[in-house]
Amino acid sequence: MHRRRGFTLIELLVVIAIIALLMAILMPALQRVRKQAKGIVCKSNLRQIGLAANLYAEEYELQVPRGLAGGTGKAWFQLFMPFLAQKPIGNDYRTVDIYRCPSYPDKEQTVCYVVNGWDFEDKNDMTGKEILLPSKLSDCERRAYTIFLADNEDGPWRYIIRKADDEGHNRCDVWNPGHLPTSDSQDITYGRRISRARHRKGSNCLFLDWHVEYIAAEDITIDMWRFEK
C-alpha cells in the first residue's frame, strides 16, 4: 500500500508567494498595455473625424469649422455628423463613440476633443482671439504642422456634454494661451482646455493634413495653432 502524498502548508504558501510575485510583476505591464490600447482607439477616432472633416471641406468649398461662442451656429461635432457612420439618438450624443476618448475619466463625456478656434492678427501676435467663422484649408500655410483637434481636458471647470445643446457645448474650442496644456489656469473661460496628461504626459492631436500624432504637453505651443505661420 502506498500512501497518497498531498501538499504541505509550506508548499502552498510558497506557491501563493510565487503567484503574488508574478502578479506584481505583470500588473504594471498589463496596465501599460491597457493604456496603450486606449491611446490607439483615441487615435483611430481622430483619424475618422479627420476623414469626416475632409468630406465636410469638399462639400463646403474647402472650408472647415472653427470656434463657437455665445451659442451661435453649430459646433464642429454637430457639423460633421452627416459624414460619420454613427448617429446621435435625437439630440443625445452618447451613442457617438467616435467623439469619445476611452481614456477620458468621466464616461458621460461625449465630446472628448477641442477644435482650433484661434485667430491671430499677425505672426507676432502671441495672444490671438476666437474665430467664429469657418476657414479655408488653403488659408493654412503648413497643414502638416497645424493642429485642428486635440484631447479635451477634464476637470471641474470643464463641462460634461451629453447633448448637443448642453451648457458648455460652445467651449469645445481653443483660442487663448490659457487653454494650452502647460497652463495652470482653471478659469471656466480662459482655463486649460487641452489635456495635459490624457495619454502619458501629453495629448493626441489631429493635424490639418489629417494625420494624427501624440504631442507632449510642453511641446504644444501657440505656433502650432496658427493658420498663417
Cα dist from 91 to 56, 211, 216, whole Å: 20, 29, 34
Mean pLDDT per 10-residue interval, the chain, length 229 residues: 64 81 76 81 96 95 82 79 86 86 94 96 94 91 96 96 87 96 97 96 97 97 93
Q: What is the pTM of this model?
A: 0.84
Cell 490639418 locates to 208
List the domain boundaries for the chain: 9-225
Q: How far apart are CA 4 and CA 165, in angstroms?
A: 72
Picking from 227, 202, 93, 109, the residue whose alpha carbon sits closest to that of residue 158 is 109
Helices (H), the chain: 9-59, 76-79
**Under a CB-based contact definition with an 8 Å cutoff, are residues 134 and 64 in contact?**
yes
Q: How far apart are CA 220 and CA 195, in angstroms?
A: 11
